[in-house]
Amino acid sequence: MTQSRAYLFVTLGAALWGCVGIFVNGLSARGVSAIQIASLRMVGGTAVLLVWMIRSAPHRLRLRRPADVRLFILTGAVSIAVFQWSYLSAIRSVGMSAAVVLLYTSPGFVVIFARLLFGERITGPKILCLLAMFVGVVAVSGVIGGDSGVRLSVQGTILGLLAGLSFSLYTVVGKFALQRYGAQTVTVYTFAAAAIALTPAVLIDPTPFPWSSLPVYLWAAGIIAVPTVGAYMVYAMGLSQVESGRAAIVGTVEVLVAVVIGVIFFGDHAGASQLAGTALIIAAALGVRASAPISRVSPTGLRRR
């Protein structure tokens, strides 16, 4: 796989993540709670991938060594499950706009972790793209020049930063796991670990699930197929060949897609600050690709410079 194609996969995966609001709104309008939606994505994603892999490539479900379970506990139970809880809690505490900004401290965490764990260089262009990305997210969120309803608190800020930290772990630990396993294997075990970790929260959730509603099943199928299985699979395929820090910055395209969907489908207002932020996010994503070292990737996944 060429690096251009790998960056395309990372971008596409992030764009599919950005579509999640369509399905969340559809499910929420029919009485499904936030934690139920999070669990539904992980349980449904696990089931879909298990069936697919058992039929097409059952050998990919075998782990090379039992100790590798720790990788998927980190990507699933620690990263995805903790992210779901802390992000939803941050939204309730400080509002959506501030929560999004705090969440997207995650590329900064990724760049630092990638330097410590993989020796990825922290270059000037990468720092510039990181700053452009963060300012773009702040502008798009409405915190700058918009009626965002921001209500910062110590607890909410900590929860938002925890969401960014836990979200960054998927990219960092997932990168390590992808050096040993394919995208399908990493994704299915990540989903399974997250589903198990979210189960206690679902069991104590007092919201009754609307089992008899056909539209709920249709929306559920959509959220499992598009921003869950599709997004994580495509992102993982690209991540296997792209530096973690660069992938995290390019992944900010998710915010851009979410804003466009909000404007088109939900009548959200896009002012000057949103348009300027969109331009910065696009510039950061393009800058990351343009500043990447020219290389091709061999079938074994090792870069040739």
pLDDT at 13: 95
- Nearest Cα to 53, choosing from 229, 277, 239, 266? 229
Write the pLDDT tens digit of every residue in 214-229: 999 999 999 999 999 9
- Full DSSP string of 100-146: HHHHTTHHHHHHHHHHHHH-----HHHHHHHHHHHHHHHHHHTTTTS
The confidence score (pLDDT) of residue 49 equals 97
- Nearest Cα residue to 79 out of 167, 160, 193, 174: 167
Q: Which amino acid is at 274?
A: Q
Report pTM: 0.85
Tens digit of pLDDT for each residue in 151-181? 567 888 898 899 889 989 999 999 999 999 9
Mean pLDDT of 88-109: 80
Q: Which helix (H) or strand (E) holds 304?
A: strand 303-304
First and final C-alpha spacing in the chain: 14
pLDDT above 70 for 147: no
More confident residue, 214 or 1: 214
Q: Are 223 and 24 in contact (CB under 8 A)?
A: yes
Are 75 and 169 a contacting pair, CB within 8 Å?
yes
pLDDT given for residue 231 in this prediction: 95
What confidence score (pLDDT) does residue 100 get? Answer: 78
Give the number of other CB atoms < 10 A from CB of residue 304: 7
Asked if residue 298 has pLDDT above 60, the reply is no
Residue with the larger pLDDT of the pair 278 and 189? 189
Please, which pLDDT band fits residue 3 given cuts at 50, 70 and 90?
Answer: confident
The rounded percent of the chain whose pLDDT value lies above 70 is 90
Distances (CA, A) of 219 to 26, 254, 285: 6, 20, 31
pLDDT over 60 (residue 304): no
Contact assessment for residue 192 and residue 44, using Cβ atoms and an 8 Å cutoff: no
- Summarize pLDDT for 130-139 with one digit per residue, the tens: 999 888 888 8
Residue 155: its pLDDT value, please? 86
Q: Is the pLDDT of residue 28 over 80?
A: yes
Res. 112: pLDDT tops 60: yes
Q: What average pLDDT does the segment 176-192 reach?
A: 95
Q: What is the mean pLDDT of the chain?
A: 86
Q: Report pLDDT digits (tens) over 242-285.
A: 989 889 989 888 888 887 887 788 776 767 777 788 788 888 88
